[in-house]
Homo-oligomer: A and B are copies of this chain.
Amino acid sequence: MNKDIFVTLLGQRHFKAVRSILDAMNEVDIASLLSELDDRELALAFRLIPKDKAAEVFSNTETSMQTYLVEIFSEKELKELLDDLYMDDTVDLLEELPANLVNRILDTVSPEDRSLINQILNYPDDSAGSIMTTEYVDIRETMTVAQSMAHIKKTGIHKETIYTCYVTDKRKLIGIVSAKDLMTSDDDMLIKDLMETEIISVNTHTDQEEVARIFTKYDFLALPVLDKDGRMVGIVTFDDAMDVMVDEATEDITKMAAMSPSEKTYFETSVFDHAKHRILWLLVLMFSASITGAIITRYENAFAAIPLLVSFIPMLMDTGGNCGSQSSTLIIRGIALGEIQFRDIFRVVFKEFRISLIVSTVLALANGIRILIMYQNMTLALVIGLSLIGTVILSKMIGCVLPLFAKKTGLDPAVMAAPLITTLVDTCSILIYFNIASALFEL
């Protein structure tokens, strides 16, 4: 939809045309159209959205717009919106709003919803409880297929998903029936003969990353969430799991480049916040790199005698850093996807060792030949070749072992990525290099 046409129609008060445009558009697209409007147009446009779409449009807009809308809504408008919002979206909203608006919302919802909301707000960040919704289809094992379908017809419209129905008995989850099973089975079949009883579920405190992994593994549409007493309290739906997957990958990638992760997009994050997220690690790494510098000064005599030695420092440092971060990257990703565990450490080390033998030999030969041709100096070629072999093997060992130890000790493996590995490997490669050089050149 072209924004200008829309704004013109809105400005000329062609409400019927605006309404029929909004009627035809997808909720996500309406939300992104609204984000381009100014406040007055926004208020007007939002009120023209068909009632059955308003809540979903609202939950797809950005926080600043949600805040504005909650501020200007009348009591009645706010109540209508909250009635149509799914519980997990309401909670997401409350987590972002300023305190006065939070109170306004809590005053508007029913007392039962208020207590539910407070309960969900209390689950730890990044837990299954914090991303679940409490609206799911709840049936009994004594119902027939036809009764269940009638139940869904009556209550389903307000549920986030009706495609998985949960069979409960005194709030305990005893079975699961898919809408596909209901739709393709005979009307008088009993739920207890249809339901799946081997149930995969998570706890309210299960980490959301684990939840996302279960979704990817089993291709579920929804996953039941149980409280510590084993009672069913909600479901996580696949769309929230997809968001978690994308967010977790972004978080890992950000950490792997030595930054604190941000929950906002690149442009939403302010210059000051960007700087804040980047400075800490830069300072740590900068001072660590100074150690490498201090070590170099110990070999002042070596490069005073043969100044050419200095010129190979960048190549050795970079190659070591690259080799180390190749290994650490693969291991970090493998851990994140659940493909590599700490108990695999010996398999990993042995594999990386064999890889680094191949890689280092090729690199040493290529560089040795280059040096022979350029400088006709066999000893120098040998020094660089041997230093490369030592650096590559050591850096791949460091690169594969550190993320596994981080995982074991409860640290985030993503921190053990390129920048930190590079800094550590630098020191090692300088030591290897100058020791080999001192020995072979008899300095």
Measured CB to CB, the residues of A under 8 A from B are 24-26, 28, 149, 152-153, 156-157, 162-163, 179-180, 183-184, 197-198, 200, 215-219, 221, 238-239, 242-243, 245-246, 249-250, 252-254, 256-259, 265-267, 271-272, 274-275, 278-279, 281-283, 285-287, 289-290, 292-294, 296-297, 300, 303-304, 307-308, 310-315, 317-319, 321-323, 325-326, 328-331, 333-334, 337, 339-340, 344, 347-348, 351, 354-355, 358-359, 362-363, 366-367, 370, 418-419, 422-423, 426, 430
The reply to whether B339 and A266 form a contact with Cβ atoms under 8 Å apart is: yes
The reply to whether A339 and B265 form a contact with Cβ atoms under 8 Å apart is: yes
Q: In whole Å, how far is A328's beta carbon from the nearest beta carbon of chain B?
A: 8
Q: How many copies does the complex hold?
A: 2
The reply to whether B289 and A315 form a contact with Cβ atoms under 8 Å apart is: yes
The reply to whether A363 and B307 form a contact with Cβ atoms under 8 Å apart is: no
* Residue of B with least CB distance to A183: B152
Please, how many angstroms separate the alpha-carbon atoms of A258 and B313 in the complex?
20
Q: In whole Å, how far is A100's beta carbon from the nearest beta carbon of chain B?
A: 31
What residues on B are CB-neighbors of A308 within 8 Å? 297
The reply to whether A266 and B162 form a contact with Cβ atoms under 8 Å apart is: no
Interface of A is mostly: helix
* Residue of B with least CB distance to A301: B307
**Residue of A198, A239, A289, A300 contacting most chain B CB atoms (<10 Å):** A289
What residues on B are CB-neighbors of A423 within 8 Å? 318
Please, how many angstroms separate the alpha-carbon atoms of A177 and B226 in the complex?
32
Q: A315's contact among B221, B286, B315, B344, by CB below 8 Å, is which? A: B286
The reply to whether A310 and B303 form a contact with Cβ atoms under 8 Å apart is: yes
- A258 with B326: in contact, given A279-B359, A318-B286 (CB under 8 Å)? yes
**Residue of A252, A296, A328 contacting most chain B CB atoms (<10 Å):** A296
Please, how many angstroms separate the alpha-carbon atoms of A344 and B268 in the complex?
13
What residues on B are CB-neighbors of A326 within 8 Å? 257-259, 278, 282
What residues on B are CB-neighbors of A153 within 8 Å? 183-184
The reply to whether B286 and A314 form a contact with Cβ atoms under 8 Å apart is: no
Known: A156-B180, A162-B183, A293-B312. 17 other contacts (CB 8 A): A28-B218, A153-B184, A179-B179, A216-B246, A242-B242, A245-B246, A254-B329, A257-B325, A265-B339, A267-B344, A281-B322, A283-B363, A293-B313, A296-B310, A303-B310, A314-B317, A321-B419
